[in-house]
Amino acid sequence: MACLVRLIDGSFDPAAQLAAFSAAHAQAGGIASFIGQVRAGANEHGDVDALELQHYAPLTLPGMEALAAAAQTRWPLEGLLIIHRTGQMRPGDPIVLVAAAARHRRDAFAAAEFAMDHLKSDSWFWKREKAGGEWRWVEPREQDFADIRRWA
Amino acid sequence: MTLRLVFLGRLEDAAGVAEREIAVAGSLDAIMAALEPELSAALSDARIKLAVNGILVTDLASLTLRDGDELAFLPPVSGG
């Protein structure tokens, strides 16, 4: 099975990435994908103008690769794609793309959701938002921990 | 010995810089004593994890530091 895990500092085109992934896994009966994007709207301090994701190079990509390997051992996958942004983004910009290809859809859905839950709450990223002209760090949400406990 | 300290997430704000070098005797206690009290208090939060040279420390009690080591202080993540 082919795992493709990338951490990128520039913008990317989820549709083009997904098309290439689908073409590379023609033998898969199903591909489940998830795109996370910067939410347009306001936090308690006003409209969010920008979002920044910080990472720590020695840990972040190795952690994502370990996550992909864990998904691979848990479900029979034909392929798995994880692309995650770092750096500054604007509302509407894609942050993350996860796609899982499998012979049958349930494995694809489960693996994609497993990967997303772990990217949200168990991967080495720190997020801050700019609203009202000021940057503020975003604290982890209790829901993210609840999401990841489902897989224990 | 000289150590490089890396502050991630909101710890960067507490430290005022993303990275800094510190010349100190080689123990975590010595580092904490050498830093500003507000910063060492922020770093002592039980939820903050430590990585040395890119390896997560799981047993602080048996931590041994060497000249040139990079210590990263990792607050709770908020990614994705």
Burial A107-138 (b: 16+ CB within 10 A, else e): bbbbbbbbbbbbbbbbbbbbbbbbbeeeebbb
Residue B4 has pLDDT above 90, yes or no: yes
How deeply is B13 buried, as exposed, middle or buried, from its count of CB atoms within 10 A (0-12, 13-18, 19+)? middle
B58 touches chain A (CB under 8 A): no
Q: What number is the average pLDDT over the span B42-64?
A: 93
The two tokens of residue B76 are 């709770």
Complex confidence, ipTM: 0.92
Would the CB atoms of A126 and B80 count as touching at under 8 Å? no
Q: Which of residues 81-100 of A touch B (CB under 8 A)?
A: 84, 95-96
CA distance A126 to B75: 8
Measured between alpha carbons, how far is A67 from A82 in angstroms, rounded to an integer? Answer: 10
pLDDT value of residue A140 = 82
Domain that holds residue B9: 2-66
pTM attached to this predicted model: 0.91
Instruction: Give the whole-angstrom CA distance, residue A145 versus residue A76.
Output: 26
- Per-residue pLDDT at B32 exceeds 80: yes
Average pLDDT, integer, range B32-51:
94
Predicted pLDDT at A34: 98
Whether B9 maps to a domain, the answer reads yes
Q: What is the SS3 assignment for B23-70? A: ECCCCHHHHHHHCCHHHHHHHCCCCCEEEECCEECCCHHHCCCCCCCE
Q: pLDDT category, B15, cuts 50, 70, 90? A: very high
Residues of A in contact with B45 (CB under 8 A): none
Q: Is A110 helix (H, G, I), strand (E, B) or coil?
A: helix
In degrees, rounded to 5, the angle at the alpha carbon of residue A61 between the alpha carbons of residues B20 and B15 is 20
For residue B28, the one-letter residue type is: L
**DSSP H or E run through B17:** none
Is residue B77 assigned to a domain?
A: no
Structural domains of chain A ordered from first start: 2-149 (3.90.1170.40)
**Given this model, what pLDDT does residue B18 score?**
96
Take residue B53 and report the two structure tokens written for it: 């040279």
Q: How many distinct structural domains can be found in chain B?
A: 1
Contact A116, A45 (CB under 8 A): no
Question: Closest chain B residue to A136 measured between Cα atoms?
Answer: B10
Residue of B nearest to A96 (CA): B80
Asked if B13 has any chain A CB less than 8 Å from its own CB, the reply is yes
Q: What is the predicted pLDDT for the residue at A1?
A: 61
pLDDT at res. A149: 83
Q: Are A16 and A80 in contact (CB under 8 A)?
A: no
What is the reported pLDDT for B34?
Answer: 93
Shortest Cα distance, chain A CAs vs residue B25, angstroms: 25
Please report whether residue B79 resides in a domain: no
B71: in domain:
no
Q: Which amino acid is at B58?
A: T
* CA pair distance A127, A36, nearest whole angstrom: 14
Q: Does B27 touch chain A (CB under 8 A)?
A: no
Question: How does pLDDT run along chain A (152 residues), one tens digit per residue?
Answer: 688 999 999 999 999 999 999 999 999 999 999 999 999 888 888 899 999 999 999 999 999 999 999 999 999 999 999 999 999 999 999 999 999 999 999 999 999 999 999 999 889 999 999 999 999 999 887 777 778 888 88
Residue pairs between chains A and B whose CB atoms are closer than 8 Å: 66
